Amino acid sequence: MVTIKKKIIIILMIVISVFSIASLSMPLLKGSTALFYDSGRIDAFKYFSKCLIENFNPWIGIGTASSSYWGPACQIKYNYAVDHWMPWLHSDYLLFFFENGIIGLIIYLTTICYLISMAYKAQKPYLFSAFIGYLGCMLFNYPLHFPVHVFLGCLIVREIFNDKFVNL
């Protein structure tokens, strides 16, 4: 039996998926023949990774929540897209690596792997696929900076742990 809460979660996921697909297809609607439009993200990944490795300690990063300062500084140093500032790196994984280094990224990825295993063990396919979709969105976007996306991510993680803590 599908409860109201599950219906709301499914509807939210469908709406976010439709908006995500629509935003990815915008270049095609504008006449571009490119199948994948990265809007410069791949180059940004390259320059910000280079900046981290050459100017900071890649093991510990530049410091949590400091990319809004160091991101534009790296853009100036490498003369990359100085016509518009990138306070975030358009990838939560890269941002986490840039701010927290290799050690922080390993901890972050370990936590994500644990959550993936918990979502799989919950035997709720909609929950597992929602979480995998959210992680996929984090690859070329930064949902952890938007309140609506953070709420959705928290809702998914809460559902992953829901059965685990009910019987305590």
For residue 127, which amino acid is it? Answer: L
Is residue 148 within 8 A of residue 156, CB to CB? The reply is: no
Q: Which residue has the higher pLDDT, 39 or 109?
A: 109
Amino acid in position 11? I
Residue 104, CA atoms < 13 Å, CB-side half-sphere: 19
pLDDT at 167: 47
In whole angstroms, what is the distance from residue 44 CA to residue 142 CA?
A: 14
Contacts 24+ apart (CB under 8 A), 27-32: none
Average pLDDT on 136-147 reads 78
pLDDT tens for 68-110 read: 888 888 888 888 877 877 777 778 888 888 889 999 999 999 9
